Structure 1
Amino acid sequence: MVGDYEIEDHFFKKLFNSFLNQYHMENPKFKSVAYEIDIYNTLRKRVKRNLAGKQLKYGGVSFWLKGLCWLLVTYISYTLLFQTDNGLLFWIYYVLFQMAGLLVGFSFGHDASHNTAFKNKKANQVLHFFSFLTFGIDPLLWGLRHIRSPHLYANVEGSDIDIDKNPFLRLAPSHPWTKKHAIQHIYAPFVYMLALVYSVFMGDWIYLFSKDYKWMRSGVSKNEMLIRFFLFKIVYFSLVLALPLLYSNFSISFVVITYLSSSAFTSLLFVVMLVGTHFFDEAEYYEADENGLESSWAVHQLKTSCDWNPNNAFARFLSGGSNCHAAHHLFPNICHTNYHKINSIIEEITKEYGLPYHKKSLFAMMKSHFKHLKRMGKLYY
């Protein structure tokens, strides 16, 4: 036990057996490396010893205070939208509304998707739904995608959706090279600015209806998924477009341009906090074969994750624990406000046993990310 949270032996095997063997088109096997598994068990024991008696599984006071802080900023900025006749102020309030709303998603929504905000799963679903409303990504589809793919198979070709081939960026060595990739490190920020708009208007619909992602939707009632999807989209578009169009003092074109530009800047905030946690220069990328992957599940998470400013309280406050990425991948069913406590133990263990552990400042992580993009932009490297 860690506090009141039981960590299952070979947690990853439990997850595989529960759904991934049935649902994913690609299901590579991690090696059962005794030495590496022993190290993971040592890590678990040390976490148990050092954090005994603490409430780790669900959100505590700091979790709720932080999320409510961002929720208050979201509410105030949204309210101010309807009280100004100044176009610049309207735009500033709108950007602040969407960015603060995104941080509500980081603070509340991510934990809710892992059922670590409340003990009650229904309560987690409700929190998950509402905490995604300001930026429009469908919470149910995002949660299924997040947990069933990159959380287990980070940087594995054919198994991690996040490194699927795309027409703009070459993110992994296995992706085909084209001439435009030579300058992808230059145009990437403009691609990243489209992340939320793409997810809202295309990505969610593809994940919901495409047969290619049937494995991701398996186990969830089709009717429930459709009802939740369209209810979410109706509430989202009412919040971000319909109400401002009806009750603000600005033209349709101005409100739409404000929405699109705000989504672009919010996308950048989203991408900056996350993209370098797996796509950085030292990260490893894999193509599974009949022999499976080269490492155990736990060591694979260390090889493919990067922490940024994990010991910085403001970074944790801002990012909802995504800056402590290794801790989240190794202990996904623990509330994010405890990651920094676990992180120091991970760093201690990796030094002791000579395992990789990637930690950078946010600036250094983004610099490493663009270095990776530049390297992937070369036909030969």
Structure 2
Amino acid sequence: MSAAPKFAASRSFHTELKNRINAYFEESGKSQTGTTSLFVKALILTFSFVAVYVHLVFFTPSVLLSLIECVLLGAIGSAIGFNVMHDGAHGSFSKSKWINQFAAFTLNVMGGSSFMWNMKHNLIHHMYTNVDGVDDDIDAQPWLRLSSTQPHHRFHRFQHLYFWFFYGLLFIAWIFFMDYQKYFKGKIGEVPIKKMTATDQSVFWGFKALHLFLFIALPVYTVGFWSWLVGFIVFGSVAGFCLSIVFQLAHTVEHTAFPMPHEVTNKLEDEWAIHQIKTTANFATDSKVISWLVGGLNFQVEHHLFPKISHVHYPAISKIIKQMCEEFGVTYNEYPKMRYAVASHVSFLREMGRAA
């Protein structure tokens, strides 16, 4: 796509919605950023990750316990991504800019790049959700076909069966390949990345080196190459699958839209806020356990409309957004149970896998 598409000029829905959300926070006297409960959760998750890592690397538990701890490390790592890094990267974790940056940098320690994440996720995905050719999150070609506008291959007939494997590969491919590909190409998909400053460069390479030391060199030295390799694959696969499935359930299910801009005008049909609602879905919003673990990303509609509001407030503002959708005749996509969303995602992949 040669130029980024434009949204419909009307913003009446978004303007009214922002007014109501602002009124809620003014009347309640609450801050839009994280609360004490979020900071406590961040400490619990971070301490748990460090404790499991230290026990694995320096105390060499038995084979069975090591495998269990590698699974646990992957799950806790993804939970830190959902709860700490994600809010921090959006500037909603804290009122403090440096605390938000510190929270976002947990991704760098894990091996990712907060700079590339900001470009890919905050600036591209959140603006042009589910727009093929722009939103890099739905570009898993040639392995997966996630939009009817993407090329079809015969092996896509089986993608609803083999996607589990590729989701498990995501984290490992992300930290060892995708970040470097974006860095050296200077693009995310077809969208150029902004020029990196000297500080950006130092952070990128410095944290990549730190990750290689913490997650490869040190554990190889303490437990041996093969033990490290098996453990790292287990850890990376669990983290990758958890990250993939949560984000995929938000956008690639049966009831979400995949709008394309007009061929001549390059304009999308809806204003930005309505576009976000049509291309996004919630799941299991009544489950406090799931909401706690995935950092409120089961309230994905709320997150896409108000990414700078911390996820701890999503249950409250979801009522306002649902009411607005009813008044304006906009369909609010929601699956009451996580298993229903997974089933819908599998059905969506099966449909996309059929010949065009």
Q: CA deviation at 1:175?
A: 0.5
3-state SS in 2 of match to 1:356: coil
Equivalent-residue separation in structure 2 for 1:198 and 1:117 (angstroms): 27
Q: Paired residue for 1:172?
A: 147
The answer on 1:280 being equivalent to 2:253 is: yes
Alignment of 1:184-223 (within 5 A): 184-213=159-188, 215-221=191-197, 223=198
Residue of structure 1 in register with 2:104 after alignment = 128
Post-superposition offset of 1:118: 3.0
Match of 1:181 in 2: 156
State the SS of the aligned residue for 2:65. Answer: helix
Q: 2 CA distance for matches of 1:106 and 1:368?
A: 22
1:376 aligns with 2:352: yes
Are residues 85 and 71 of structure 1, via their aligned partners in 2, closer, same or farther at CA, if it must alter by over 3 Å? closer
Aligned to 2:221: 246
Instruction: Work out whether 1:312 is the aligned partner of 2:287.
Output: yes
The answer to whether the Cα contact below 8 Å between 1:141 and 1:207 also exists between their aligned partners in 2 is yes
Paired residues for 1:28-47 under 5 Å: 28-33=5-10, 37-47=11-21
What does 1:1-381 correspond to in 2, within 5 Å? 26-33=3-10, 37-51=11-25, 52-81=27-56, 82-134=58-110, 136-164=111-139, 166-213=141-188, 215-221=191-197, 223-247=198-222, 250-289=223-262, 290-291=264-265, 292-360=267-335, 361-380=337-356
Q: Compute the TM-score of the two structures, normalised by the length of structure 2.
A: 0.92
Cα distance in 2 between the residues matched to 1:219 and 1:230: 15
For the Cα contact (< 8 Å) 2:250–2:300, is it kept in 1? Answer: yes
Q: Distance in 2 between matches of 1:201 and 1:86?
A: 28
Q: 1:211 to 1:266 in 2, by over 3 A?
A: closer
* CA distance in 1 between partners of 2:184 and 2:44 (Å): 36
Distance 2:114 2:316 in 1: 28
Distance, in Å, in 1 between the alignment partners of 2:31 and 2:300 is 17
Q: Tell me, yes or no, if the aligned pair for 2:34 and 2:94 is still in contact at 8 Å.
A: yes
User: What CA deviation, in whole Å up to 9, does each residue of 1:234-266 have, x standing for no partner?
Assistant: 11122222222223xx33112111101221122
Q: Distance in 2 between matches of 1:161 and 1:191?
A: 16
Q: Residues of 1 paired with 2:325 and 2:159: CA distance? A: 34
Give the drift of 1:186: 0.9
**Length, aligned pairs only:** 350
Once residues 138 and 211 of structure 1 are traced to their aligned partners in structure 2, the CA distance between those partners, rounded to angstroms, is 14
Q: 1:75 to 1:169 in 2, by over 3 A?
A: same
Corresponding residue SS for 2:94: coil
Q: Partner residue of 1:13?
A: none
Using the TM superposition, give the Cα deviation of residue 193 of structure 1 relative to its aligned residue in structure 2, in angstroms: 1.0
Once the two structures are superposed, what CA deviation does each residue of 1:40-86 show, in whole Å capped at 9, x if it has no partner? 33322332333324333322212101211211221221222122441
Structure 1's 343 and 166: CA in aligned 2 closer, same or farther, altered over 3 A? same
TM score, norm. by length of structure 1? 0.86
Equivalent residues of 1:98, 1:266 under 8 A apart: yes
Give the residue type in structure 1 aligned to 2:199: E
Superposition misfits of 4+ residues, deviation over 6 angstroms: none
Give the 3-state SS of the residue equivalent to 1:339 in structure 2. Answer: helix
Contact 1:110 1:128 in 2 (8 A): yes
Q: CA deviation at 1:92?
A: 1.6
The CA deviation at 1:116 is: 1.8
Pick closer, same or farther for the CA change 1:144–1:122 going to 2, 3 Å. Answer: farther
- Per-residue CA deviation, residues 290-309 of structure 1 (Å, 9 max, x unaligned), is 33001110100000001111
More deviation in 265-274 or 282-291? 282-291
| Contact 1:56–1:338 (CA under 8 A) maintained in structure 2 | no
Gaps of 5+ in 1: 1-23
